Amino acid sequence: MMNSSLPIFSTKSDMALSNLLCHSRNCEASSKSSLKPEENVIVINVSGKRYETFLTTIERFPNTLLGNPEKRKHFYNLVKHEYFFDRHRKAFSGILNYYQSNGLLEKPEEVSEKIFTQELIFFELVETKLHCEKYNSSAFQEELHVPSNPILKTIWIMFKYPKSSRLAQFLAIFSLTIILLSIVIFCIQTIPSLNPDNKEGEHMKTTWLVINSLCNTWFTLEYLLRFLAAPDRLYFARSILNIVDLISIIPFYLEFAFDSKSSANYIICLKVIRILCVIRVFKLFRHARGLHLLANTIKESSEELFMLVMFLAIGAILFASAAYFAEGKINPDFQSIPHSLWWAVVTMTTIGYGDVVPVTFADSVFKNIGLHTLVRMPFTVK
């Protein structure tokens, strides 16, 4: 797996290179013993991209390739004084983060599971990962494990990894097409002339029923196959995307559970059930890596976003209260603080519908203060 011979990086003469090689065994030990605080940094070059980290950081895990001096010395470049690895650059950011976070392993979003698994094996993190108590990425554990049953394994790989085979690619494209079709049909059904609940659209009732039945049959079959083939069914059932899949399927079957002749209750229940069908839009997350990245970004920035919302909420309450006391007796649009909150939020977020406007000079001053301080400050303070 690893090349045990020392790679040649120098373009100098063979004799010069020979002299360098004579000292290769002791170069790291001697440099380590005489390290100054500012020199206790090593450089790791991965396919041209240089990473710098403390020596003590990678030595936290001495059984790994980077953490073991005897293992990593074969990749040391004596001329450039760095370690060189001809490996996947983007995957290495996750490898290095494992050392820096003291055992937390997370796959970079833009790196495939197969490539990252290969890098884990090369850098000898696999065994450490499986036994590290601080490793808390159950999603990645699921990615590395597949069912032992060959049939279930084939099914799981086809649905989980769309690029694993041509059949898997076809299933992914087919599933995406069905999702888009169901969303389009859901929207088109609301057109009065095509709405099966109206007299104008009664002629389309059978057509929509057949199309919806076919779409939901596929969604049900796909969900059941993925559930049965999942390595960890409990984790599968608790996954947010899989919960969305289940909720988007249930409304179709609930429609048959209500008696259409009980008009009042049926209409109310039917409207509630059909609202749940809107959740089907989130099924697109499964087929778009960019949406996964966006969701992770929002998750990682949740504290900052919460701070921003709280900052705007405090400002809205303050200026809504000021607007109420300044305009309450004159302007009916500011008859209470809750009514004034609409104006405050619309103004502070720079939407400015213009449906509610202050008429007094004092409220105009409050508006400008709120717009130029409470709105701009969260974006300028770092």
pLDDT category at 298 given cuts 50, 70, 90 is: confident
At residue 39, the pLDDT reads 53
Higher pLDDT, 353 or 11: 353
Q: Is the pLDDT of residue 350 over 90?
A: no
**d(C-alpha 302, C-alpha 77), whole Å:** 42
Mean pLDDT of the chain: 76
At residue 340, the pLDDT reads 85
Higher pLDDT, 46 or 287: 46
At residue 363, the pLDDT reads 62
**Which residues have a Cβ under 8 Å from the Cβ of 261 and sit 6 or more positions away?**
none
The pair of three-digit structure tokens given for residue 84, joined into one six-digit string = 């060189």
Q: pTM of the predicted model, to two decimals? A: 0.52
72-130 pLDDT, tens digit each = 989 999 888 899 999 988 889 889 998 988 888 888 877 877 788 888 888 988 654 44
At residue 222, the pLDDT reads 93
Higher pLDDT, 364 or 188: 188
**d(C-alpha 313, C-alpha 179), whole Å:** 38
Closest CA to 314 of 353, 341, 334: 341
Q: Is the pLDDT of residue 30 over 70?
A: no
Residue type, 343: W
Closest CA to 129 of 147, 146, 117: 117
